[in-house]
């Protein structure tokens, strides 16, 4: 069974590569997805070759107003 590992990031340029390198053995049975919260550093650059997808999450407003619609 394949599963998804979703890693939220925000300004993790200094640590993201070691985190993703440690998770590489899991890629045989999973996909690794980075969801970046509009980092102002270069977090997405070292993450790209070590993941299956890099997504930028654009938040309008604040997290206090964020709701997940579970229809």
What is the CATH number for 30?
A: 3.40.50.620
The helix (H) or strand (E) run that includes residue 36 is strand 30-36
Give the Å distances, CA to CA, from 8 to 1, 71. Answer: 23, 23
Helix or strand or coil: residue 3? strand
Query: How many domains are contained in the chain?
Result: 1
pLDDT score, position 38: 85
Residue 26 inside a domain? The answer is yes
pLDDT > 90? residue 4:
yes
Q: Which has more confidence, 60 or 30?
A: 30
CB 36 within 8 A of CB 54: yes
What average pLDDT does the segment 26-37 reach? 90
Domain that holds residue 45: 3-61
For residue 70, what pLDDT band results from cuts at 50, 70 and 90? very low
What average pLDDT does the segment 34-61 reach? 88
What average pLDDT does the segment 10-20 reach? 92
């Amino acid at each position: 069974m394949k599963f998804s590992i979703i890693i939220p990031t925000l300004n993790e340029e200094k640590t993201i590569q070691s985190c993703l390198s440690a998770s590489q053995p899991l890629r045989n049975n999973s996909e690794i997805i980075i969801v970046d919260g509009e980092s102002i550093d270069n977090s997405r650059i070292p993450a790209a070759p070590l993941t299956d997808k890099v997504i930028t999450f654009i938040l309008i407003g604040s997290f206090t107003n964020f709701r997940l619609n579970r229809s």
